[in-house]
Amino acid sequence: MKILIPTDFSKDAKHAIDYIYLSQLANILNAEIKLLHVYTPPVTRNNLSYPLIQDEIARAVKEAEEQLTILCSEISDDTGLRCKSLVMTGSVVEEIVKEAEHGKADMIVMGTKGASGIEKILFGSNTALVIEKATCPVLAVPKGAAIALPKRIVFATNYHDSDMNTLKSLTNLVKMLNAELMILHLSKEKLKSDRDLIEEFSKAVAKETGFQQPFYYVMTHTDTQKGIDLFVDSSGADLISLSMRKRGIFEKLFDSSLTKKMAYQLKIPLLAYHATNSGQDSENGDF
């Protein structure tokens, strides 16, 4: 498995790196780790051929390469895992997504500190943007997350057919971790109306994934995000997984996806998958 871990050398980024290898998660996944730093040159009126800008880029790249070498050595010495490093220049999100595709990464791991209030509205999170644009799963690790293997994993669903592909990958991870999988549906109506859906969906999950042991939960709440937060707190979950769906441009302008919203307010790691929409999916909502 190939794991790409972007870093800006902040404490939040270092915590994400520590989470992956100190928890032994990378070892269980038999992962090859690639550390990536993206340097964005300062914006000036001159083009990038200007000598002073070129000197600054060369200095920043060399400095970043030295720091990445130290980090890679630390990971390899402690775990025996293969660790590579790369420095790129350009737009952070674009270069991360480009390298994930070029290097055929199976997962991107990023640290996040979250945001609140007006800050969340006005300033985008690189992690949230990568979640939206990347095609592979993205694991967002908040700064307060405990460094330990996840043992209780929540997957939130709206019973989309396209969630099956996500669950196939997720149940493989759950098996490797010997973890408990809790499949959660948030309902804004009476629970009785969901009984048939639960039974039908659970049979489909067992058939498609071969995984017979998930626990199914349905709870009512008028606010999906708050409902998920309450369930996570009450269940003692230590990782949450959601599917993210592509939306049309009109919806993107006026309605942020739930998955991106969750990335801002994490208490535990969030594993975001990109669902492949099927013709039978009846709505565009996330998870």
Greater confidence (74 vs 52) lies with 74
Greater confidence (201 vs 5) lies with 5
Contacts 24+ apart (CB under 8 A), 23-31: 23/147, 23/148, 23/149, 24/79, 24/149, 25/149, 25/150, 25/177, 26/75, 26/79, 26/81, 27/79, 27/81, 28/149, 28/176, 28/177, 29/1, 29/3, 29/176, 30/1, 31/1, 31/2, 31/3, 31/81
Q: How confident is the model at residue 246 (pLDDT cuts 50, 70, 90)?
A: low
| pLDDT value of position 134 | 93
Residue 212 CB: number of other CB atoms within 10 A? 9
> What rounded mean pLDDT belongs to the chain?
82
Quick check: 95 pLDDT over 90?
yes
Quote the distance between the C-alpha of residue 92 and its chain's center: 16
Greater confidence (184 vs 160) lies with 184
Quick check: 250 pLDDT over 90?
no
| pLDDT value of position 226 | 83
Question: Mean pLDDT over residues 52-66, rounded?
Answer: 89
- CB–CB of 14/7 below 8 Å? yes
Q: How confident is the model at residue 193 (pLDDT cuts 50, 70, 90)?
A: low
| pLDDT value of position 159 | 81
How do residues 158-168 score in pLDDT, each as one tens digit?
Answer: 887 778 889 99
**Token pair 């071969």 is at which residue?**
210
**For the chain, domain boundaries:** 2-142, 152-274
Q: Angle, to 10 degrees, between the axis of helix 92-102 and the axis of helix 126-133?
A: 40
Quick check: 285 pLDDT over 50?
no
Quick check: 252 pLDDT over 50?
no
Cα–Cα dist 197/54, whole Å: 60
Global confidence as pTM: 0.85
Q: Which among 156, 150, 178, 174 has a CA at the least distance from the CA of 236?
A: 150
| pLDDT value of position 276 | 64
Question: Mean pLDDT over residues 92-111, rounded?
Answer: 96
Q: How confident is the model at residue 22 (pLDDT cuts 50, 70, 90)?
A: very high
Q: Report the topology of domain 2-142.
A: Rossmann fold (3.40.50)
Q: How confident is the model at residue 42 (pLDDT cuts 50, 70, 90)?
A: confident
Secondary structure, 3-state, the chain: CEEEEECCCCHHHHHHHHHHHHCCHHHHCCCEEEEEEEECCCCCCCCCCCHHHHHHHHHHHHHHHHHHHHHHHHHHHHHCCCEEEEEEECCHHHHHHHHHHHCCCCEEEEEECCCCHHHHHHCCCHHHHHHHHCCCCEEEEECCCCCCCCCEEEEECCCCCCHHHHHHHHHHHHHHHCCEEEEEEEECCCHHHHHHHHHHHHHHHHHHHCCCCCEEEEEECCCHHHHHHHHHHHHCCCEEEEEECCCCHHHHHHCCCHHHHHHHCCCCCEEEEECCCCCCCCCCCCC
Equal fold, 2-142 vs 152-274: yes
10-24, 39-53, 117-131, 149-163: least confident range: 117-131
- CB–CB of 86/36 below 8 Å? yes
Quick check: 57 pLDDT over 60?
yes
What proportion of the chain, given as a percentage, has pLDDT over 90? 48
Reported as half-sphere exposure (CB side, CA atoms, 13 A), residue 112 has a value of 32
Residues 6+ positions from 122 with CB-CB distance below 8 Å: none
Q: Report the topology of domain 152-274.
A: Rossmann fold (3.40.50)
